[in-house]
Structure 1
Amino acid sequence: MGTTATSQSYDVVIVGGGVVGSSTAYFLASNPDFNGKVLVIERDWTYAKSATALSSSSIRHQFSNKLNIEISMFGSEFVRNAGTLLEVDGDKPDLAFHENGYLYLANEEQYPVLKRNHDTQTSCGAEIELLNPEGLGKKFPWLNLDSIAGGSYGLRGEGWFDSYGLMSAFRKKARSLGVEYIENEVVDVVTDGKQVTAVRLASGETIQCGQMLNSAGTRGPKIARLAGLNIPVEPRKRNLFVFECETPLEGVVPLMIDPSGVFFRQEGKYYLGGTYPKHDPEADVDDFNVLHDEFDEEVWPFLAERVPAFEAIRVVNSWAGHYDYCVLDHNAIVGPHPELSNFHFANGFSGHGLQQSPAVGRGLSEMITYGQYKTLDLSLLGYERVIQNKPFLEESVI
């Protein structure tokens, strides 16, 4: 491990060693049909400012389109079995998966969409319960149900877990299988117009590559531009707040999403909450300053209205991270470029990268190895929709 690669040529170069890049590296290295050399280039081995480390560490099946549901259902299964799948020399990672579920609340206007999404989710095999106000009151007596027409609650496979633990376990397992990691930064992508031929590093090295994956998070658009490509992805800051409540909530506490978009979940003896990330034309991927006024003005008022016990709370910690937000349709861009065919995208996850990393890493490894998806077809997430300006819409975005 270091800043310098041990070779000048690799079959696959992965730019960005966060959870998606490391998942892809793991699935490549664990595939008996893949015999190539893999290099992962990560600019910061502390991962302190990575989306993985700064996320709300959650997974849900409650999406509006079938593919996203299936992606996350595989993700839940993988997280549940990570101790066995990612074991290295007897060390089994414990991701502390709390399957407390998501609880989406809807007002009268939103309820038809909630019901339609619920029908799609259950048709895929997701275990989601649709509740009327009476059912919500019985299950979650701490809720104020004024203006609520109904809710959908995940019974299994939804909740939160150790996000940094998953990324670290992918990385450790990939390295144990022969994947090489270096701490460096890609400053140029060399092409011949049809293929990526090499990447140039900040250290001055040039690394030849057979195939390249852009999994660089909020720096993904910059890496794409180095290859002469563009993706409709921008950074959006998300502020997260940890708070304590004078009167703790009793019973199971899921990750609740209010009709306003404000959410919270349990975090040990505390609670973690926030709201939608906002578009900011001046957004800077290196700006991690927390917008503290957001809690007082946009988060707490809705929390206190929906959960009366939250009228008396105190913020004890906060941090800010960034979504790599796909402005086309809030869905990731995954797979090869149709012309620069050995350049693969894993960008624009819009806050879903952690939960989608197992299925997307598996799919990308299949595309790189076989030239096609073998398990779950991810082609609807392909770059072609960007060229055609045809959104693949996802209605359930938080």
Structure 2
Amino acid sequence: MAFDKHFDVVIVGGGAVGSAVAYFLKRVLDFPGSVALVEQDPTFRRAATMLSAASIRQQFSTPENIRASRFGLAFLRGLADEHGPEFDPQLRESGYLILATPEGAPLLASSHRIQIAEGADVALLDREGLANRFAWLSLEAIGAGSLGLSGEGWFDAATLLGALRHGARAAGAVAVTGAVTGIARKGAAIEGVHLANGSALGCGTLVNAAGTAAARIAALAGRTLPVEPRKRTVFVVDCPDGPNSLPLVADPSGVWIRPEGSGYLTGYSPPASEDSAADPSDFDPDHAIFEERLWPALARRIPAFERLKVKSAWVGHYDFNTLDQNAILGPDPEVPNLLYANDFSGHGLQQSPAVGRALAEIVAFGAYRSIDFGAFGFERIAAGRPVIEAAVI
């Protein structure tokens, strides 16, 4: 089969994860081969990267997730020094406060032990500790809380994406605008991709970093990923007499809130029984969620928020792993030159530097060298063997 161009590596998806793979291949590891970064919408107006709440935390229950976010934290902290002040990601390390019911307190404590073992700066607080630190917090139905003392907070997603793409291109990666409509596979090997404009790119390795389109891209190669788009509405709210100093607060109800400028961002993660696959082209905010779920929960937990008002809202989509809500990373055991960087279930932006480094190591060296993500390999998908992450927000 004839191809218009041939690249050693073709990466499908130019958001934070795909761009990070190209960045670490070309800029950091000095990969001598050619790399193409294929993205259908270079404006990224509707990309998950740009529509994320752009937060980072270390409060996970799976060591690999903690390690990934700690790597991302170090990357963000050094971004301006590495690339110049125009790439300052505006990292605000104001912490996460994850609250648990009395029934959920033992699981919070178990996760805390794992986090401390991984070097996270996290404090476990009982009801008295919460009351002493947060006078504005109602402790109704709360048994404990976990607070990130450093290394957790939020940042500017556009700056991170810009630094990754700029660094990758400056080091020789080629940006290609186009939608992948077909994949050429011969036996156990991917040979290239076909684009909607009629062109075709040959490749030695194909990296699927297509976000909510990951399952469609995998299907073009004859493979199945348990990933679905899940819709999330983020509300921008104002409350003049709200708390002045607020971490990101995650309530057991599934509601979360954090400061943003002079106001706040808030959203809701529904229980599995209410969460279903969404149309990835649906960007209409679900305003009923605010009235029915967010406002009552926020007013109950932080009484000052009884008086908050919605200023605006937007919608983004998760690439949601229906097996275990963890990433799928690394080579396909049946198609070894097909690599996955998918299904982050909302954690992709904060983990993108670590995943980019890891996938670049697989391409360049054939093995992980920085963080071993073997637990997140495709083999567990085929076996139906989930890796349980208890701290999903």
Q: Quickly name the TM-score band, shorter chain normalised.
A: over 0.9
Instruction: Give the whole-Å Cα distance in 1 for the aligned partners of 2:379 and 2:328.
Output: 9
Q: Is 1:96 the equivalent of 2:90?
A: yes
Q: Is the 8 A contact 1:242 1:318 kept in 2?
A: yes
Question: Which residue type is aligned with residue 93 of structure 1?
Answer: F
Instruction: Give the whole-Å Cα distance in 2 for the aligned partners of 1:191 and 1:221.
Output: 16
Question: Which residue type is aligned with residue 356 of structure 1?
Answer: Q
Question: Which residue type is aligned with residue 14 of structure 1?
Answer: I
Q: Is 1:323 the equivalent of 2:318?
A: yes
How far the C-alpha of 1:40 sits from its partner, in A, is 0.5
The within-5 A match list for 1:1-398 is 8-32=5-29, 34-85=31-82, 87=83, 92-250=86-244, 252-277=245-270, 281=276, 283-398=278-393
How far the C-alpha of 1:261 sits from its partner, in A, is 1.3
Instruction: Give the whole-Å Cα distance in 2 for the aligned partners of 1:99 and 1:131.
Output: 19
TM-score relative to the length of structure 2: 0.97
Alignment deviations for residues 293-343 of structure 1 (CA, whole Å, 9 cap, x no partner)? 000001110000000000001100100110000010000101100010000
Q: RMSD across aligned C-alpha pairs, in angstroms?
A: 1.4
Instruction: Give the whole-Å Cα distance in 1 for the aligned partners of 2:135 and 2:276.
Output: 41
Runs of 4+ in structure 1 deviating by more than 4 angstroms, as ranges, are: 277-282
Alignment deviations for residues 132-168 of structure 1 (CA, whole Å, 9 cap, x no partner)? 2222122111101122111110011100000121011
How far the C-alpha of 1:7 sits from its partner, in A, is 6.5
Instruction: Give the whole-Å Cα distance in 1 for the aligned partners of 2:154 and 2:28.
Output: 28
Instruction: Give the whole-Å Cα distance in 1 for the aligned partners of 2:277 and 2:63.
Output: 34
How far the C-alpha of 1:31 sits from its partner, in A, is 3.7
Aligned to 1:239, the other structure's residue is in SS state: strand
Q: Is the 8 A contact 1:363 1:374 kept in 2?
A: yes
How far the C-alpha of 1:246 sits from its partner, in A, is 3.1
Q: Is the 8 A contact 1:63 1:396 kept in 2?
A: yes
Q: Is the 8 A contact 2:96 2:147 kept in 1?
A: yes
Q: Is the 8 A contact 1:33 1:369 kept in 2?
A: no
Alignment deviations for residues 101-158 of structure 1 (CA, whole Å, 9 cap, x no partner)? 0001111100000000001100111000111222212211110112211111001110
Tell me the number of residue pairs that the alignment of Structure 1 and Structure 2 aligns.
Answer: 389
Aligned to 2:390, the other structure's residue is in SS state: coil
Q: Is the 8 A contact 2:179 2:196 kept in 1?
A: yes
Aligned to 1:395, the other structure's residue is in SS state: coil
Aligned CA distance change for structure 1 residues 393 and 299 (closer, same or farther; 3 Å) = same
Instruction: Give the whole-Å Cα distance in 2 for the aligned partners of 1:91 and 1:191.
Output: 44
How far the C-alpha of 1:223 sits from its partner, in A, is 0.4
Alignment deviations for residues 234-279 of structure 1 (CA, whole Å, 9 cap, x no partner)? 01000110100131313x3100011111110000110110110566
Instruction: Give the whole-Å Cα distance in 2 for the aligned partners of 1:37 and 1:24.
Output: 13
Aligned position for 1:3: none
Instruction: Give the whole-Å Cα distance in 2 for the aligned partners of 1:310 and 1:261.
Output: 16
Instruction: Give the whole-Å Cα distance in 2 for the aligned partners of 1:56 and 1:31.
Output: 27
Instruction: Give the whole-Å Cα distance in 1 for the aligned partners of 2:186 and 2:178.
Output: 24
Q: Is the 8 A contact 1:237 1:321 kept in 2?
A: yes
Instruction: Give the whole-Å Cα distance in 2 for the aligned partners of 1:256 and 1:71.
Output: 22
Instruction: Give the whole-Å Cα distance in 2 for the aligned partners of 1:84 and 1:42.
Output: 28
Question: Which residue type is aligned with residue 28 of structure 1?
Answer: L
Instruction: Give the whole-Å Cα distance in 1 for the aligned partners of 2:231 and 2:199.
Output: 33
How far the C-alpha of 1:281 sits from its partner, in A, is 4.9
Question: Which residue type is aligned with residue 194 of structure 1?
Answer: A
Question: Which residue type is aligned with residue 121 of structure 2?
Answer: E
Instruction: Give the whole-Å Cα distance in 2 for the aligned partners of 1:62 and 1:71.
Output: 11
Aligned to 2:87, the other structure's residue is in SS state: coil
